[in-house]
Chain A
């Protein structure tokens, strides 16, 4: 019931970012993925999201809850068009796509899920606003509502707080706590260590490999076999 990494190598064959990443991240964890620029945080998240193939090895997401088998990903620069003619509610409803497919109609339960997601991110009163009129923080909360509606067990976030104010950041952290409370695993790439302290686990990427430890600095286990990591030292992500 966890994310299992098996000798994973990330990057490109000609430009390996990190190799030999192995280990297990337990279900229901909130993990801050930290490391310097170029350490491979975004590359690792893209690989886990299926956006980029691993150079070597594999990973398995083995959810304890059947409906949590999928993986959701919010990239650092979402590709949502800034002038998209969508209301906040429609954006959240996009999260139903994987389940409804081409012709499925949202049922009452789906509508309730959208209501609940908008409520969790604090956008219920703005559900009919066009997303093009939202502030950066409000848009990020709307994208978190879509992630909530997706109902995935593993949620990957790439620098989710980089363009939001303190109030929105606090709200987003609340949402992450809510997800973890429901048994979901959240892995968030974060460059601000103060912000990362809100996450109980730190997954640190450096030229020496990947280390999983508690945020109070007590090392838990190495996720990288050192000899493999040193052969694939991060140069850029």
Chain B
């Protein structure tokens, strides 16, 4: 067992990648649970893709500086998130259609910008990430995302939960009128921060994977929101470590390996998890079925 884990002890780049991945899994867990409960998984994915043009333009101008690329990614990600909803309403498009137009446009512009760099920008790195080459700035950003998310979500947990589960009650409950909108803003701000922090490790195409996939898997393991968050964090960490090892031993692209392992965890959870999985539902039916005499 220890032998399988030895790359984390033998190679510094593996240890750094594991540290960054664990931090991002911790940051993504509560955010993912709320995104899934709010049925906004695809919106999160769209915002993840939307970081590309800003990242590409900033990398082009700065020669690939991690900090500048991060700022560029944050700018376009936030811009698409803030404008896609209102623009959809103004154009009378369904909101998901508006997000699709915006993120495809962002992706296309990003790819064009990156290819205009004449080799200065590594398009593969922007699209698929480079978790094994995570530098100090990206690692620090991942740790900051984990800490700030933990603090922010603790502060807004109660109003965000009520607003997510029953928004009309939140508005008419007689509680503080500002609490719901403030909780939402904090939540989306933390989501933007974590998505941008994940971008260096997993790239624009899969950056939201570490937030969404463990949250989807966690619903098969826990019934209450706090336990779901703990399960998502655990599953996220497991997926990251497994993905890094798969990548190390099979020489597979690291972002794809991590996301594949997370998808594997979702499938396994949906089959054998104790809550509403295929197995638990069939066991429940079997126990209720009349016994043959």
**Chain B associates with chain A:** yes
CB within 8 Å of B: which residues of A?
A: 49-51, 70-73, 75, 78-81, 84-87, 90, 94-95, 97-98, 100-103, 130, 146, 150, 152
From 267 to 282 in chain B, residues with beta carbon under 8 angstroms from any chain A beta carbon are: none
Given A81-B37, A85-B223, A85-B224, decide whether A150 and B173 contact each other with a Cβ distance below 8 A: yes
Q: Is the CB of A150 within 8 A of B37?
A: no
Which of B162, B174, B224 counts the most chain A CB atoms within 10 A?
B174
Select B158's contact among A49, A51, A70, A102, beta carbons within 8 Å.
A102
Q: Is the CB of B155 within 8 A of A85?
A: no
Given A102-B155, A102-B179, decide whether A97 and B165 contact each other with a Cβ distance below 8 A: no
Given A75-B168, A79-B167, decide whether A70 and B174 contact each other with a Cβ distance below 8 A: yes
A51 to B168 CA separation, bound complex (whole angstroms): 9
Can you give 28 contacting A-B residue pairs, CB < 8 Å? A51-B168, A51-B171, A51-B172, A70-B174, A71-B174, A72-B172, A72-B173, A78-B168, A78-B169, A79-B167, A79-B169, A81-B37, A81-B165, A81-B166, A84-B37, A84-B165, A84-B166, A85-B37, A87-B224, A97-B159, A97-B170, A97-B173, A98-B174, A100-B158, A101-B158, A101-B179, A102-B158, A102-B159
Q: Is the CB of B165 within 8 A of A50?
A: no
Q: Which residues of chain B come closer than 8 Å to A50, judged between CB atoms? A: 172
With both chains docked as a complex, state the minimum distance between the C-beta of A125 and any C-beta of chain B, in angstroms. Answer: 18
From 159 to 207 in chain B, residues with beta carbon under 8 angstroms from any chain A beta carbon are: 159, 162, 164-176, 179
CB within 8 Å of A: which residues of B?
A: 37, 155-156, 158-159, 162, 164-176, 179, 219, 222-225, 228
Interface of A is mostly: loop
With both chains docked as a complex, state the minimum distance between the C-beta of B237 and any C-beta of chain A, in angstroms. Answer: 22
Q: Is the CB of B155 within 8 A of A130?
A: no
A100 to B157 CA separation, bound complex (whole angstroms): 13
With both chains docked as a complex, state the minimum distance between the C-beta of B176 and any C-beta of chain A, in angstroms. Answer: 7
With both chains docked as a complex, state the minimum distance between the C-beta of B269 and any C-beta of chain A, in angstroms. Answer: 15
With both chains docked as a complex, state the minimum distance between the C-beta of B291 and any C-beta of chain A, in angstroms. Answer: 24
